Chain A
Amino acid sequence: MIIRLQTAAGRDIPNAQDTEISTYERNWGAELPHAHPDADVFPGMSPTYNCHGLTFASRRTKITDPDAIARILMDDRYDQIDRREARPGDVIIYSRDGEPTHSGIVVENEPDLFVPWIWSKWGNGPEVLHKYHDVHPVYGTDHRFLRCRL
């Protein structure tokens, strides 16, 4: 099912949802706390939305097209900020060669250390609260923090 999802400028964002979680994914999700002991892995998994769906679509759907993320960032006026300025509600975009691979929401920035904690969703798996650099290598190491100016 495609839900109506638009940027502030009225441009459509393609999206879709899945309906199933496999046994493998459940087992993998159960192992995540061991693989990332510093992170908080929340119970429950959902095939309905992905990381971008959590960050930009209120958990309603999956957004997988990198061009769609670029449209959202442009139309919804996201500006890059320094990591030290990041505060709850800002977002982080992980990328490779400028293409968004993962996203999440800043929930806290440790005072003095400037290590933002991120709320993000990993695949069909659980939502995870993690330090900004504590992610699976599939998401790459490049990242930038952004603030919505709308």
Chain B
Amino acid sequence: MSLFTQAELSDLAGGFTVANVPISLWYWLDGHPAVRRVADLVSEDRVLDEFGALIRRAERSETILAECYALLTAIIAKRRRAGRIGPPPVDLGTLRWGEPIWARARRDERSTGTALITAPPPRLILDEG
């Protein structure tokens, strides 16, 4: 059973169809409430199981492809929250825009990483004169 409702799948398929480039699809999915819900509530193993089951299907309709991209985006969101996106856990070659989306997410990870810089404590000089 899908992790998304029929209404959500229909909306995801519409966005997938209208997207002209991988980046527009990814940004949109990343902010989609259904994808956020899955990223929040479903374990990565469960998302991966669902992704694997979909990608093995012979039928590649817009709805199925949109669902695959939505699950991929949910995985990225979960990994990002955990602190590291790392290598993809699935064969991205099965999705035409899988590679550029994962690469873009990793690039974001590097460019938005924070470095903790601590200043030395001020020296306290007592004038005992």
Q: Do residues B23 and A125 form an inter-chain contact, with CB atoms below 8 A?
A: no
Q: Do residues B15 and A136 form an inter-chain contact, with CB atoms below 8 A?
A: yes
Counting chain A residues whose Cβ lies within 8 A of the other chain, the interface size class is 20 to 34
Q: Do residues A140 and B61 form an inter-chain contact, with CB atoms below 8 A?
A: no
B interface: dominant SS:
helix
Q: How many A-B residue pairs have CB under 8 A?
A: 72
Q: Do residues A100 and B21 form an inter-chain contact, with CB atoms below 8 A?
A: yes
Q: Name the residue of chain A whose CB is nearest to the CB of B25.
A: A138
Which A77-99 residues have a C-beta within 8 angstroms of B? 94, 96-97, 99
Counting chain B residues whose Cβ lies within 8 A of the other chain, the interface size class is 20 to 34
Contacts of B13 in A (CB 8 A): 24
Whether A50 sits at the interface, judged by CB under 8 Å, is: yes
Whether A114 sits at the interface, judged by CB under 8 Å, is: no
Q: What distance in Å separates the Cβ of A67 from its nearest Cβ neighbour in chain B? A: 10
B: residues with CB less than 8 A from A are 13-15, 17-25, 27-28, 61-63, 97, 100, 104
